[in-house]
Structure 1
Amino acid sequence: MLNANLSPDVVNGFLDGKPKLLLIDGKFVPAVSGRTFDSINPATGKVLAQVAEGGVEDIDLAVAAARRAFDDGPWSRFTPFERQAVLLRLADLVEANFDEIAMLDTLDLGAPITNTRARKQRAVALLRYYAGQATTIHGQTLPNSSAGEVLSYTVKEPIGVVGAIIPWNGPFGMAVWKLAPALAAGCTLVLKPAEPAPLSPLRLGELCLEAGIPPGVVNVVNGPGSVVGAALAAHPGVDKISFTGSTATGQAIVRAAAGNVKKVTLELGGKSPNIVFDDADLDAAVPGAAMAVFANSGQICSAGTRLFVQRGIYDEFVERVSVFTRKLRVGSPLDPNTQLGPLVSEVQLERVTGYLESGKAQGARAAVGGGRLLSDDLAGGYFVEPTLFADVTDQMKIAQEEIFGPVISALPFDTAEEAVARGNATTYGLGSGVWTNNLANAHRVAKGLRAGSVWVNCYQLMDPAVPFGGYKMSGTGRESGPDHIEDFLETKAVWIKTG
């Protein structure tokens, strides 16, 4: 049984049966077209809420509101201390309302309630971290070699209107990750949530208003990526796009942004190698390797889906991961004992099951799992079995392409040099893992891997103070860390002849 603060009743005030509206210029309004779409509970296939479906006209209105708030509104006159204070108030509100936020993500995304509740610390920490950065922005006084008495210095100024486009696999956390540095820098924002999981970003919009963020500073426009996202990326009134999502969409955003040469940061897909050496602590590596993929039902861009295991322990390791996997509890995301929930949508279900069939057709062996989960208690939900494929080769589709589901491909290797070369043999470079008790080996492999993050004897650890992003086609720019806010700032040089 769920305790009171784990009950779906916690969101009854938000899911009141009325369509959820767009947030534009401080007001919740219907789409200009009047259209709506259904937000679906992936555990049941039933409708959670109707959501206003924005279009190009709504993006125009939201960008205009953000531009007014940036150029002429009270936000442009907020001091760094005042921006810090409002972000801290928002952090307090998020902390106080997180049971509701977690339940919205569980209902909308299908992530187990224990997992969504565990994201509280990160969401609050991100807001407080960037609140701290709001008062640290500064330029420099620079020496120059000009003749005469000339002073030169730089100032840092907010870039302007930011278009933030987020994926569905972590809707609230992703929204905070885009919003917080933009506001800390003094920018305004138009947020475009993903269609399958729009509810918690809308709730964040409500909390922004409650925290005292002026109208127009934060706008939330839902709708199809091909319409709303494309309009935002191409809009001449937007100064920067911050995008997290697929590599194909990221490429389209870069092309669209060329119109006014807006700045773009991208956190894209991955096909991350997770390398286990024969001297590793297998008691730690087995659950580590499994949950590097199975967490969030595999719907994580940096998931360690290519599991390279040194040949001497390959068979043992595959068997131990299989045993671990069989014990995982897949079920209702509202059950606190559930470890894996459903995939986010029927479209994603069809995609993942297609890869399962492809793996078997190309000769991979499903050591565990390999199909859709169908049972009376999971009826209507988009559930698949957590799957470990053995006998995988580097050329197979399941080893080459991002699946975005709970599917591991296990591949044997012999030497560290081979593991690094094969780990790098992909167009992606987001995450990677190394499991070894040899410190020299850990440093050597970490140096050789072409990835934005290398986790040694752990996987998927993240912190607001540590940068995250990708090499190659996994993106450009970094989120989190002391330099992230620089992506939302312009540098102006000032020259003053004093003599």
Structure 2
Amino acid sequence: MAEQIFDYAPAPESRAVVSVRPTYEPFIDGDFTPAKTGEYLTTVNPADEEALAEVAVCGEADIDRAMAAARRAFDTVWGPMSGAERGKYLFRIARILQERSRELAVLETLDNGKPIKETRDVDLPLVAAHFFYHAGWADKLQYAGVGPEPRPLGVAAQVIPWNFPLLMLAWKIAPALAAGNTVVLKPAETTPLSALVFAEICQEAELPPGVVNIVTGAGETGRQLVSHPGADKVAFTGSTAVGREIARSVAGTGKKIGLELGGKGANIVYDDAALDQAVEGIVSGIFFNQGHVCCAGSRLLVQESIAEELLERLKARVERLRLGDPLDKNTDIGAINSAAQLGRITELAQVGVDEGAESWSPSCELPERGYWFRPTLFTGVTQAHRIAREEIFGPVLSVLTFRTPEEAITKANNTPYGLSAGVWTEKGSRMLWTAERLRAGVVWSNTFNKFDPTSPFGGYKESGYGREGGRHGLEGYLV
């Protein structure tokens, strides 16, 4: 009997739930007010290059206004407010996020390019969970293990990246508000829309003016924000290169700082691992969100005795991934976020070929418009290859082999980064032995890319310092 192949019928999510304004202004002191610069940038849908909206570029005068509003709100309203009252606002925001989750998921997919099933089933539930979790901490800070009478720092200047726009906003804003701080946040220039809708949610929740301020723009806006003398805390998630610049600018100012930067995570598969389970974890580790994940498992370390069998199963699984319209609920691989990021991925993938590694991609048709890159595996990779050392931030996996657990640890730790790692084995003792020796802020056991607001996240070495999530994440916003 001939093998039957079933095709997936298109299952697009409706765009009707989202109303995108033609123009967006910054959110300062409780209102959307025109930027003083009079300049705008265009945010586009990476799946088809359609222009979505014009977004204001904030300059020094706008940041001054936002910082003044945040300071005023901290001194007169939010700082003196009881933790129980602050918690009520966070609970209210969390409930509104849940009520508007479908709208926000579609908007995030349009602006970012990631599949709707990820924004709907992963991002938005986690966003609401972070606000619910931190709402519970607001009146219990004395039990967080950071001293008997913890106090808020004041005004937090926060800059977030484009790979998880709304989730990174929640990681930053929820603990800051729970601890009693006020916020000026800048979203990435390619994905500002969900942050601006979050500003609408702050209005809907009747959050006091000035507690949350959203300033928009590109790199210069971010530099002006983090260097502003009115900031008591700087929180940044993004590239290691920019993180270095921020650390230099903040040094000696007395500002508290938290940096969550790049990664080159190792995903270690031992010979006793459940291979089908490991394959799913490998796929999730590198192809989730098109590999636009700082903690992606972009280096696969496989024990030599099972490498051939594992790669055969992995390639068969990758062949079944569906690349295409991010709003289609069947889509596994969406669009690359921008032309600039696509260029970097393409360049580093070509470097891998030029340096002698063997490239493999499934046979899939790419859409005619938009920014797309096939999921790619590189074999024959050594630690000297650039694709094994540099963060590509795309759907590109470098495969290396090892013979002994000691060799796996040596290769896994041979990186300037230290954000994440995964270990696949059926032996608990081997799992614990490996995790103890890995220099990574997060080590996943027989899984990958699992997040929870109660668990701290952060890195070592060039992956940054400080933690986000859990009671450890609250410490960065308290004295």
Q: What's the TM-score bracket when you normalise by the shorter of the two chains?
A: over 0.9
* Cα offset, 1:140, TM superposition: 11
Cα distance in 2 for partners of 1:140, 1:287 equals: 36
* Cα offset, 1:356, TM superposition: 1.1
Hey, what does 1:493 align to over in structure 2? none
Hey, what does 1:277 align to over in structure 2? 270
Between 452-461 and 257-266, the greater mean CA deviation after superposition: 257-266
Deviation digits for residues 316-361 of structure 1 (CA, Å, limit 9, x no counterpart): 2112111111110000001110001010000001000111111111
Distance 1:187 1:64, change over 3 A: same
Report whether the alignment pairs 1:327 with 2:330.
no
1:16 is matched by which residue type in structure 2?
R
Unaligned stretches of 5+ residues in structure 2: 1-8
Cα distance in 2 for partners of 1:307, 1:445 equals: 15
- TM-score where L is the length of structure 2: 0.95
1:249 is matched by which residue type in structure 2?
V
Report whether the alignment pairs 1:478 with 2:441.
no
Cα distance in 2 for partners of 1:54, 1:444 equals: 50
2:21 to 9, 16, 23: 16
* Cα offset, 1:271, TM superposition: 0.3
Hey, what does 1:129 align to over in structure 2? 133
Report whether the alignment pairs 1:361 with 2:368.
no
Hey, what does 1:50 align to over in structure 2? 54
- TM-score where L is the length of structure 1: 0.91
Contact 1:158 1:187 in 2 (8 A): yes
Hey, what does 2:161 align to over in structure 1? 167
Q: How does 1:123-272 map to 2 (within 5 A)?
A: 123-138=127-142, 155-225=149-219, 227-258=220-251, 260-272=253-265
Q: Which has the larger radius of gyration?
A: 1
Hey, what does 1:36 align to over in structure 2? 40
SS of the aligned residue for 1:309 comes to strand
Hey, what does 1:148 align to over in structure 2? none
* Cα offset, 1:483, TM superposition: 2.2
* Cα offset, 1:27, TM superposition: 1.0
* Cα offset, 1:260, TM superposition: 2.2
- Superposition RMSD in Å: 1.7
Report whether the alignment pairs 1:395 with 2:384.
yes
Contact 2:108 2:194 in 1 (8 A): yes
1:91 to 87, 90, 94: 94
* Cα offset, 1:258, TM superposition: 2.4
Hey, what does 1:497 align to over in structure 2? none
Between 131-140 and 348-357, the greater mean CA deviation after superposition: 131-140
Hey, what does 2:404 align to over in structure 1? 415
2:93 is matched by which residue type in structure 1?
L
Cα distance in 2 for partners of 1:287, 1:336 equals: 19
* Cα offset, 1:139, TM superposition: 7.7
Cα distance in 1 for partners of 2:53, 2:85 equals: 36
- Provide runs of 4+ in structure 1 moved above 6 Å: 1-4
Cα distance in 2 for partners of 1:323, 1:364 equals: 20
Cα distance in 1 for partners of 2:422, 2:143 equals: 37
Cα distance in 2 for partners of 1:332, 1:223 equals: 27
Cα distance in 2 for partners of 1:417, 1:260 equals: 43
Distance 1:154 1:465, change over 3 A: closer
Cα distance in 2 for partners of 1:16, 1:7 equals: 17
2:113 to 92, 110, 114: 110
Cα distance in 2 for partners of 1:283, 1:319 equals: 11
Cα distance in 2 for partners of 1:140, 1:59 equals: 32
* Cα offset, 1:71, TM superposition: 1.5
Q: Percent identity?
A: 47
* Cα offset, 1:31, TM superposition: 1.2
Report whether the alignment pairs 1:77 with 2:70.
no
Deviation digits for residues 124-174 of structure 1 (CA, Å, limit 9, x no counterpart): 111010000001012899xxxxxxxxxxx9521110000111000000111
* Cα offset, 1:369, TM superposition: 4.8
Hey, what does 2:420 align to over in structure 1? 431
Cα distance in 1 for partners of 2:300, 2:279 equals: 11
Contact 2:115 2:327 in 1 (8 A): yes
Distance 1:386 1:139, change over 3 A: closer
* Number of equivalent positions: 469
* Cα offset, 1:9, TM superposition: 1.1
2:441 is matched by which residue type in structure 1?
G
